[in-house]
């Protein structure tokens, strides 16, 4: 049975990815800050596939020590990691030139440093066995800044650069690296906005894209996936 490690999995895109892979028979190690949501998702995965193994781990991805503890727990629980999805992220609106330093640092720690730390902790075994696929969840903001995006734009540009560098470095080890750039996706972060549901992409489409790309042979890597609502950005 194959194994996936997934950060930021209690809702939205992360939850959709966890459900999709569990349905396909994979074991899933996932984390989030909310223990209640973690427990709820674990129960859902156990219903989706009772034969799977699921690790629900409470972790604040903005804190390096907690990320390292999660990585160790996931590696111990799964034994090996076939797919890693760096999905954890946070968005605080505002202009980068006048935002509080603590807000800037929070987004950088959560959106880019967490991916660096989690990948570093798990990639050693992938390199050893020359197998694995790493997905980094960037954003349309990762290649095109948008108004009021502030440090989120900066952090996603940084994640894009990190992901492209990782792709180049891991070629000799047969480890595939894919950067994902989702546009507006229907998640809790959009709750309360006066925009029709039809204008958003469903989170399940992001999960499906990750699954489809991973199913290609190891001789092929899709380096970038750009997904946008059919009617354009919101």
- State the catalytic residue, choosing from 32, 114, 152, 162: 152
- State the catalytic residue, choosing from 32, 138, 155, 163: 138
User: Does residue 63 have an active-site annotation?
Assistant: no
Give CA–CA dist 47/222, Å, rounded.
32
Give CA–CA dist 191/94, Å, rounded.
19
Name 70's Cβ contacts closer than 8 Å, sequence gap at least 6: 7, 31, 57, 59, 118
Give CA–CA dist 18/54, Å, rounded.
10
Please provide the size of the chain in residues: 234
Tell me the C-alpha to C-alpha distance, in Å, between residue 218 and each of 166, 186, 213, 222. Answer: 17, 31, 10, 11
**What residues form DSSP beta bridges with 185?**
201
Tokens found for residue 24: 């396909």
User: Does residue 152 have an active-site annotation?
Assistant: yes
User: Within 10 Å of residue 112's Cβ, how many Cβ atoms?
Assistant: 24
User: Does residue 138 have an active-site annotation?
Assistant: yes
Tokens found for residue 146: 């948008």
Q: In Å, how far from its chain's centre is CA 53?
A: 20
Work out the burial of residue 122: count CB atoms within 10 Å of its CB; fewer than 13 is exposed, 13-18 middle, 19 or more buried.
buried
Contact 34, 12 (CB under 8 A): no
- State the catalytic residue, choosing from 15, 62, 155, 156: 156
Residue with tokens 């894209």: 209
Q: Hey, which residues are catalytic here?
A: 138, 152, 156
């Amino acid at each position: 049975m194959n194994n996936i490690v997934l950060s930021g999995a209690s809702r939205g895109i992360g939850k959709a990815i966890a459900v999709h892979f569990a349905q396909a028979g994979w074991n899933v190690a996932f984390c989030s800050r909310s223990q209640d949501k973690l427990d709820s998702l674990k129960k859902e995965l156990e219903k989706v596939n009772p034969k799977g193994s699921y690790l629900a781990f409470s972790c604040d991805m903005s804190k390096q020590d907690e990320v390292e503890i999660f990585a160790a727990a996931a590696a111990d629980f799964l034994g090996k990691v076939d797919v890693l999805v760096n999905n954890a992220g946070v968005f605080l609106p505002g202009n980068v030139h006048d935002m509080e330093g603590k807000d800037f640092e929070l987004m950088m720690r959560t959106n880019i440093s967490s991916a660096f730390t989690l990948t570093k902790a798990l990639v050693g075994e992938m390199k050893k066995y020359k197998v694995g696929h790493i997905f980094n969840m960037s954003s349309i903001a990762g290649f095109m800044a948008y108004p009021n995006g502030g440090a989120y734009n900066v952090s996603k540009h940084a994640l894009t650069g990190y992901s492209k560098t990782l792709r180049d470095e891991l070629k000799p080890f047969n480890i595939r690296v894919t950067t994902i750039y989702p546009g507006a996706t229907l998640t809790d972060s959009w709750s309360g906005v006066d925009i029709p549901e039809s204008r958003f992409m469903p989170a399940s489409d992001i999960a499906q894209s990750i699954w489809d790309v991973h199913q290609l042979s190891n001789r092929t890597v899709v380096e970038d996936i750009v997904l946008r609502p059919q009617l354009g950005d919101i």
